[in-house]
A and B are shown apart, each in its own frame.
Chain A
Amino acid sequence: MNANDTITSKQLVFIIVGAQIAVGVFSLPHLVAIEARQDAWLAVLLGAALPFAVLLIIERLGRRMPEAGFVGMNHLLFGRWLGSVIVFLFAAYVVLFQGIVVRLFSELTSIFLLPCTPLPITIFLVLVGVVYVINKGARVVARVNEILFWIIFALLLLLLLPLVNADYTNLLPAGEAGLACITRGALVSSFSYAGVEILLVFYFLVGRKEEVIKAGILGLSFTTVVYLVVTLVCILVWGHELLQIINWPALSMLKTVKLAVLERPEFFLLAVWVGVGGVPP
């Protein structure tokens, strides 16, 4: 492994956040609300349990063979042949998963920003950005995610704007959906939490392994807070009946706000989100 490709544990926080938060956040409240209704926010909170478990398992695994590398680890665990097959399967999974993300993001862009451009061209453009970033290696991916982290942070504040139309009774009665529905909602939300598995690869690139667990928890917590806030705001603004109909509630609710210079903040948000959605590690 190239010595130039090590990252710091601080950067790992940003990478995990960058891997998890992508295009899913816009539709997350809608998808979860279908299952868990006004308790969608509880479901999102519960859904965070799964990635936390995954994080702990990966960390334990990595600690046993800190220098192995992802491929080496699989070879150690499963032997040469089976290990290679599993590495291949993992790669296929990542490609498939990120393919879905790119596709979703391109469709969203297509609908909101470029209605006349054919979808393949939009997809191609998104891929150009993604490939360019990844081509530069792990370090640069980490640095870019670091910048994007602050952009996500700033955009989150934008998402708080619709709160002027909030109605807290939309949250009531809390817990009415029942444990079964909330659990099902949590399972739906865990799709949005996916991305933490890239730690399997990035664990071995971190310089100080003992800080991985702290960084992982920090990153995951941030994602959880982001999802929780977005879901809460969406429920507060739309109410769960509307939420179940609107495809991208987080984007659409920005339509309700009017700023002095920005007539349609949702365009702005989506345009800036190109970086966020477009950079999977």
Chain B
Amino acid sequence: MRKIPRRAGPSQYQDNHDSQEIPDSKLPPGYEDKLALLRPYIEKNDDLIARPFYLDSEMKLQACAFYFNGIADDKRLNEHVLKPLMSHSGGWDPGDFPAADRVDLIVRTSISVGQLRKSDSFAVMVHSIFDGMLVLIFETIQEAVIIDIHGGVARAVEEPPSEKAIRGPREGFIENLDINLSMIRRHLRTPRLVINKTTVGRRTRTPVAVIYIDDIADAGLVEQVNRRLDRIDIDGVISAGNIIQYIEDKPYSLFPQVWTSERPDKTIAELLEGRIAVIVDGTPTAIFLPALFVEFFQASEDYLERTFLGSYLRFARFIAFFIAVSLPALYIGAISFTPELVPLDLVVSIAQARKEVPFPVLIETLLQEFIIQMVIEAGLRLPGPVGQTAGVVSGIVLGQAAISAKLASPAVIIIISITTICTFILPSGPLVQATRILRLPLIFLTAGFGLFGFSLGWLIMLTHLSSLESLGLPYFAPFAPMRYSDLKDSVFRIFLWKMDKRPLSIPSQQKQRQGNSGQEGNRDER
């Protein structure tokens, strides 16, 4: 029997790719030589267009344009590249000039497109073609000219469905990286905003942008993010979700260690706090590092609403998280271990309702919990209105039927419904997903050991939270280690003019963030 290697080492991976490696040689000056070099890479692709043309009126200088149909923007290609080149718009023949100057002359006189560069490397040229650039090669000129005229269709900028805001901007990221970056630039106009682009994924060669504000973000953190991105050596990046799993600190944890958002306004707020954003091409999501546990409770409206409402909602979310994680467990613990804890009348009414239910509380609760999770999943996949209907119908009908069939007591339906509602109050998707799993261990611990097991579960959870790190910084930060000044923006959100420092939990170069600290109301003198 052939032995299958348990782990593919880096060397084996390298071997697989050798056929893919493109020799990094210099381009020859001859036109036919270049075509011959290029042929093995392009001959099997029918959607690649190679368009030959002449550069001079005597038809001596051959040239060829390579581009992919549907990726290059036809209008710009024809009007700003091919047309001026073929009509000798400069009124001169490149053949009249020495070969070394020709390429610059062509670029400066006959190509009216902004994004353009030259390269004499064969590998760069091939990659540029497959990155969707327009590549021009010329007779007698060594360098290839690489022009970015990406076109094609992009989705319109819409409000992100998963992060709707009642107040505030309605813009959301889309799949196109350049448009996403432009949305950030447009609203954050400091010259200190830095955007670095790299590619990740050997075959997908996905552009990934690292964004930070130069004089706020901690240089060490930026370097760390870059290092983690460089270390990713995978075949393909399908979505930002892949990248997240490769750059987070503790993949074994249930808690999300990376903040994500689909909103440019949120992205700008995060950048201003000294965080680093990573945007992956093809995903309408920005990733923020480092992440803190409290951030998953902060919605962008919190800062736009008046302080008291914002604080109230923030506090309500923390309560909701507690309920979402522990209510089913508390129900089990109170009913099957310590009914003395609950007021007598309530115990009696619950017991009466439970009288005819044939299962133990644990099974009853787990059954309902499982059904609700299935309903949620079913609603997700179905198209819009159908999904909602399915959710409502299955929720009400199943709930009612389960009660009348004595499969569940009304109490457990109420408990599970409250839990589910509280789960979806949380403003951040990753934490919602975590919460759905987090309650299960607590349910089992409590079913086994009552309130003692419940406390033990929370102790372990708090310990785990305290031990988590994001980019090497404590994840549970304003709570443990306690950072008193950061508590201004945790369980409550106090007045904006009192938050005059950037969060201490995230190292930044500039601590002060506003000049009108302590400005309490406006009283203009007349």
Contacts and interface: CB of A to CB of B under 8 A. Distances in A.
Report, nearest first, the 5 A-B pairs whose CB atoms are least far apart.
A274-B455, A143-B480, A143-B466, A271-B451, A136-B467
Contact of B452 (A114, A132, A137, A264): A114
A275 interface: yes
Interface in A116-133: 117, 122, 125-126, 128-129, 132-133
A142 B481 contact: yes
Interface in A90-113: 109, 113
B462 A271 contact: no
B290 interface: no
A160 B413 CA distance: 37
Interface string B317-357: 00000000000000000000110111110000000000000
Given A10-B482, A267-B340, A133 B463 contact: yes
B405 interface: no
Contacts of A126: 456
A112 to B, nearest CB: 9
A196 B453 CA distance: 29
Interface of B: 337-338, 340-344, 449-456, 458-460, 462-463, 466-467, 474, 476, 479-482
Given A113-B451, A275-B455, 6 more contacts: A122-B449, A125-B452, A260-B343, A263-B340, A274-B456, A275-B462
B416 to A, nearest CB: 20
Interface of A: 8, 10-11, 109, 113-114, 117, 122, 125-126, 128-129, 132-133, 136-137, 140, 142-144, 146-147, 260-264, 267-268, 271-275, 278-279
Contacts of B481: 8, 10-11, 142-143, 146
A272 B341 contact: no
A261 B343 CA distance: 6
Q: Could you say which of B341, B451, B459 has the most chain A C-beta atoms within 10 Å of its C-beta?
A: B459
A144 to B, nearest CB: 5
A274 B338 contact: no
Given A144-B463, A263-B340, A113 B456 contact: no
Contact of B463 (A113, A140, A267, A268): A140
Contacts of B337: 113-114
Given A114-B452, A275-B462, A267 B480 contact: no
Contact of B449 (A114, A143, A273): A114
Contacts of B451: 113, 267-268, 271
Contact of A262 (B341, B450, B463, B467): B341
A263 B453 CA distance: 20
Contacts of A109: 452
Nearest to B344: A263
B474 to A, nearest CB: 7
A271 B340 contact: no
Contact of A132 (B344, B455, B463): B463
Nearest to A147: B480
B459 A278 contact: yes
B476 A143 contact: yes
Specify the main secondary structure of chain A where it touches its partner.
helix
A133 B459 contact: yes
B281 to A, nearest CB: 36
B452 A274 contact: yes
A268 B333 CA distance: 12
30 contacts: A8-B481, A10-B481, A109-B452, A113-B451, A113-B452, A114-B337, A114-B450, A125-B449, A125-B456, A129-B456, A129-B460, A132-B463, A136-B463, A136-B466, A143-B466, A143-B474, A143-B481, A144-B466, A146-B479, A146-B481, A146-B482, A147-B480, A261-B343, A264-B341, A268-B451, A271-B451, A271-B452, A275-B455, A275-B458, A279-B459
B462 A147 contact: yes
Contact of B341 (A114, A117, A267): A267
Contacts of B462: 144, 147, 275
A50 B170 CA distance: 65
A122 B452 contact: yes
A263 B451 CA distance: 15
B460 A132 contact: yes
A105 to B, nearest CB: 10
A115 B450 CA distance: 11
B341 A263 contact: yes
A268 B450 CA distance: 11
A113 B338 contact: yes
Nearest to B347: A263
A212 B453 CA distance: 36
Contacts of A114: 337, 449-450, 452
A245 to B, nearest CB: 23
Contacts of B455: 271-275
Q: Could you say which of A8, A129, A137, A279 has the most chain B C-beta atoms within 10 Å of its C-beta?
A: A129
Contacts of A10: 481-482
A161 B456 CA distance: 25
A263 B343 CA distance: 5
Contacts of B458: 275
Contact of B459 (A113, A129, A136): A129
A128 B462 CA distance: 14
A264 B341 CA distance: 5
A143 B482 CA distance: 8
